[in-house]
Amino acid sequence: MSDTTKKSTQGWFGSDRRRLLIQEYGIFIAFVILVAVLAASNQFFLTPGNISNILLQTSINGVLAIGMTFVILTRGIDLSVGSVAALAGIVSASFVTASASATVPGGPYPMVVALAIGIGVGVASGAIIGVIVSRFAVPAFVATLGMLSAARGLTLIYGGGRPVPSLTPAFRWIGTGNLFGIPLPVVILLFVFAVSWFVLTRTRFGRYIYAVGGNPHAAVTSGINVVRIRFAVYVISGALAGLAGMILSARTGSALPQAGIAYELDAIAAVVIGGTSLSGGVGRVTGTLIGALIIGVMNNGLDLLGIESYYQQILKGALIVGAVMLDQKRNQGA
């Protein structure tokens, strides 16, 4: 039998083909298996109420993780998203609270004003990080770690260490309302996903993001403004962190100064589990969405099974390390 015949006989079962299939669809297969196992383990897992609960729990982390995807695709990292979400949440809440002691002068204002301010806080935070990283060549880990601390401190200062309660019903609607029977936070997540997918796959800006992450030196040679691209991805991450913070405040009915603690870890986990390489240039926002769903399903399912949160943290950590190990192996084999 000739070599050509052997290759055609192996077909889809060849090692290279199998490796490509696992890379392409492995995250979807893992998600389906996880759902099947949890559904078989608990009769309440696939009930409509629990599915809605999972999607609501996933929505905030999903929005954060999509912003994180833009950053990681350019070989960056953003450790500040949890603190920025808390800062945006408490600042925007102060414009729509009925509490006389917590509102800003002239409040409460219309929901649109609060939304614009919350997004603005996120954009400003991301812009500061973007300038530090892109213009001054400070490592992203250091710059975003500094913003993590600064944003948390600003949150405590702005709110005086106290929550902002009694948010207006109009503002709470973005966290508790429904649109055509679908929880509004889920609708927002799907909208953010659709826009991000289009940007990354159908626009020149998206191609530039992949180029900068794949090989920044070649990107510069090709005429791409690497500084501008790196600045832009942190602005996007900050804006989505601001949006997530407002959704969180609207869901809980009050903005808490301690909100968003460790949210950046779940966002990074969703991105890495979803197949985006920490080395940059490789990844899809679709994988990030599935990664966020895996974390949400895992947390919900383990809660239903009565497993303590301590063990959930261990499992989540193992998933992150395992995903990074697979990524490193893939890069070595490339």
The answer to whether residue 317 is domain-embedded is yes
The answer to whether residue 295 is domain-embedded is yes
The answer to whether residue 42 is domain-embedded is no
- % the chain with pLDDT above 70: 91
Indicate if the pLDDT at residue 110 is higher than 90. Answer: yes
Q: Is 314 helix (H, G, I), strand (E, B) or coil?
A: helix
Indicate if the pLDDT at residue 134 is higher than 70. Answer: yes
Token match 């945006």: residue? 88
Indicate if the pLDDT at residue 5 is higher than 50. Answer: no
Q: Give the Cα separation of 100 and 267 in Å (integer).
A: 35
Distance of CA 222 to the CA centre of its chain: 30
Q: Which of 9-13, 108-112, 176-180, 329-333 is predicted least confidently?
A: 9-13
The answer to whether residue 207 is domain-embedded is yes
CB 112 within 8 A of CB 86: no
162: domain range? 52-301+309-324
Strand ranges for the chain from DSSP E: 178-179, 182-183
Which pLDDT band, with edges at 50, 70 and 90, does 216 fall under? very high
Distance of CA 142 to the CA centre of its chain: 20
Look up the CATH number of the domain holding residue 319. Answer: 1.10.3470
Q: Rounded to the nearest 5°, which phi and psi values hold at 95? A: -95, -10
Which pLDDT band, with edges at 50, 70 and 90, does 12 fall under? very low
Q: Which of 295, 227, 236, 233 is nearest to 265 (CA)?
A: 295
pLDDT of residue 328: 72
pLDDT of residue 315: 83
- % the chain with pLDDT above 90: 78
CB 67 within 8 A of CB 239: yes
Q: Give the Cα separation of 226 and 231 in Å (integer).
A: 8
Q: Give the Cα separation of 113 and 117 in Å (integer).
A: 6
The answer to whether residue 35 is domain-embedded is no
Inter-CA distances, 193 with 145, 224, 253, 294, Å: 26, 25, 25, 16
Q: 0.85 cut: is pTM over it?
A: yes
The answer to whether residue 13 is domain-embedded is no
pLDDT of residue 101: 85
Average pLDDT, the chain: 91
pLDDT of residue 200: 98
pLDDT of residue 162: 94
Indicate if the pLDDT at residue 25 is higher than 90. Answer: no
Q: Give the Cα separation of 214 and 274 in Å (integer).
A: 18
Q: Is 162 helix (H, G, I), strand (E, B) or coil?
A: coil
Q: Which of 62-76, 148-162, 270-284 is predicted least confidently?
A: 270-284
Q: Give the Cα separation of 309 and 315 in Å (integer).
A: 10
- Joined tokens for residue 296: 């949400």
pLDDT of residue 21: 67
Q: Give the Cα separation of 206 and 131 in Å (integer).
A: 20
pLDDT tens-digit profile of 246-272?
Answer: 999 999 999 999 999 999 999 999 999
pLDDT of residue 76: 97
The answer to whether residue 193 is domain-embedded is yes
Which pLDDT band, with edges at 50, 70 and 90, does 333 fall under? low
Q: Which of 130, 237, 231, 234 is nearest to 192 (CA)?
A: 237
The answer to whether residue 141 is domain-embedded is yes
pLDDT of residue 26: 80
Task: Give me the number of domains the chain comprises.
Answer: 1
